């Protein structure tokens, strides 16, 4: 096990211990362990928590060799993190949490699996207010799981709903999800079109991205291509992190969760997020169906309709440029590794090349 890996595990457990003690009145008393999974999770071990944590993995598409490596890492983490369990001995009086999770942005989620409820705490008021504003802007158009906000304690509560795991989705479910995002965007854009909204040029966005260490090489590769599309693009408050792991499907009703990355984005960012993030959370059949459908032009009509609402012209010949803009913005917001960004852009080129060959062959 690498020294940096051990150091990472130690820091994660130290951070989790601190939060457990600070928020102990929201957790059920007992012995808490640190998860061997991909997130910073601490949990009271029982059949319910194990089942729930297992369901979190079902959104990830592992190749056979990746799964073996994941299990080896998991075993090492179990051995190492087992040294850092925490016993909570107190009288429960606030909440009945059994699982805690530290998110990418540093907020803390506490899950009550029996009461079917989740609390999300924020360290900073400005982060809490940003989420609250986004919720009130978007909840009229997106189905959410929100219950209420607590301005004093800086948390919001949500329903914990039962949902259909990604690994049992078919094309019908994926179509339901795409249509749900399309319809929500259509309603939202119509409302936004009645008021003033800001615009941002592509060149300004490129200048922002050039300051990001994880985008320097990629920007150089695509800078000239994107500068040819130097348009003023409408900017709106959006969810900012729409992908299959942040979408819950329950009895054919679609719910959107995790508004942590909500903020100002190019207006088409959310619907493109679904398309460009699918390869990183797809566990259906290895197909990249949203991306393939987009490249094949199956979404052109709907995208033209959405763009038209904000007086912006959707040009199918700029399909790749729209996609690149969203991929780079996603990487900038999430601090995603350049390797992953290049991987999805290369995948686009591969699918596009195959499609052009197919069209040429059939013409």
CA-derived radius of gyration, the chain: 22
The pLDDT assigned to 181 comes to: 96
* pLDDT (tens place) for every residue of the chain, 363 residues total: 444 555 665 666 677 778 888 888 999 998 888 875 556 888 898 888 888 887 766 544 444 444 555 556 555 555 555 556 788 887 767 799 999 998 888 899 999 999 999 999 999 999 999 999 999 989 999 999 999 999 999 999 999 999 988 888 888 999 999 999 999 999 999 999 999 999 999 989 988 888 888 888 888 888 888 877 768 999 999 999 998 889 999 988 999 999 999 999 999 999 999 998 887 764 444 457 899 999 999 999 999 999 999 999 999 999 999 999 999 998 888 888 888 888 889 999 999 999 989 888 887
State the Cα–Cα distance between residues 67 and 88, nearest whole angstrom: 33
The pLDDT assigned to 36 comes to: 54
The answer for residues whose C-beta is within 8 angstroms of residue 115's C-beta and 6 or more apart is: 96
The pLDDT assigned to 278 comes to: 83
The pLDDT assigned to 224 comes to: 81
DSSP bridge partners of 265: 236
Are 332 and 209 spatial neighbours (Cβ–Cβ below 8 Å)? yes
Residues 215, 333, 336, 139, Cα dihedral to 10°: -150
DSSP-derived 3-state class of residue 249: strand
> 32 burial class (0-12, 13-18, 19+ CB within 10 angstroms)?
buried
H-only helix segments in the chain: 3-22, 47-57, 64-81, 125-138, 171-192, 202-209, 216-227, 269-281, 289-295, 300-309, 319-334, 338-362
CATH pick for 168-362 out of 3.40.50, 3.90.1200, 3.90.70, 3.30.450: 3.90.1200
Q: 232-238 and 99-102: which strand pairing?
A: unpaired
The pLDDT assigned to 222 comes to: 86
The pLDDT assigned to 161 comes to: 92
Largest CA distance in the chain: 73
Helices (H) and strands (E) in the chain, counts: 12, 13
Angle at 55 between CA 54 and CA 61, to 5 degrees: 95
The pLDDT assigned to 5 comes to: 53
Q: Can you give the residue ranges of every domain in the chain? A: 3-121, 168-362
State the Cα–Cα distance between residues 246 and 59, nearest whole angstrom: 10
pTM of the model: 0.87
């Amino acid at each position: 096990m690498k020294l940096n890996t051990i150091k990472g595990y130690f820091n994660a457990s130290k951070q989790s211990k601190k939060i457990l003690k600070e928020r102990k009145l929201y957790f059920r008393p007992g012995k808490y362990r640190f998860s061997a999974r991909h997130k910073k999770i601490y949990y009271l071990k029982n059949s319910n928590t194990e089942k729930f944590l297992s369901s979190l993995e079902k959104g990830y598409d592992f190749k056979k060799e990746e799964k073996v490596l994941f299990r080896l890492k998991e075993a090492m983490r179990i051995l190492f993190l087992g040294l850092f369990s925490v016993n909570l001995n107190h009288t429960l009086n606030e909440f009945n949490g059994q699982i805690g999770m530290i998110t990418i942005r540093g907020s803390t989620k506490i899950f009550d699996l029996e009461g079917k409820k989740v609390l999300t705490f924020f360290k900073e008021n400005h982060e809490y207010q940003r989420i609250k504003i986004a919720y009130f802007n978007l909840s009229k158009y997106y189905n959410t799981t929100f219950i209420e906000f607590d301005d004093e304690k800086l948390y919001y509560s949500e329903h914990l709903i039962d949902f259909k795991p990604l690994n049992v989705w078919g094309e019908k479910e994926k179509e339901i999800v795409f249509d749900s995002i399309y319809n929500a965007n259509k309603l939202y854009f119509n409302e936004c079109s009645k008021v003033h909204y800001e615009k941002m040029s592509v060149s300004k966005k490129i200048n922002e991205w050039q300051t990001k260490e994880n985008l320097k090489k990629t920007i150089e590769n695509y800078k000239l291509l994107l500068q040819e599309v130097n348009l003023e693009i409408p900017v709106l408050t959006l969810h900012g992190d729409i992908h299959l792991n942040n979408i819950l499907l329950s009895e054919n009703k679609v719910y959107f969760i995790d508004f942590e990355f909500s903020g100002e984005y190019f207006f088409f960012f959310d619907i493109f997020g679904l398309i460009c993030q699918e390869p990183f959370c797809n566990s259906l059949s290895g197909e990249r169906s949203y991306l393939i459908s987009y490249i094949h032009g199956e979404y052109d009509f709907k995208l033209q309709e959405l763009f038209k609402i904000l007086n912006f012209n959707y040009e199918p010949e700029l399909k790749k440029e729209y996609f690149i803009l969203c991929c780079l913005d996603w990487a900038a917001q999430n601090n995603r590794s350049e390797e992953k960004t290049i991987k999805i852009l290369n995948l686009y080129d591969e699918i596009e090349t195959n499609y052009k060959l197919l069209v040429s062959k059939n013409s």
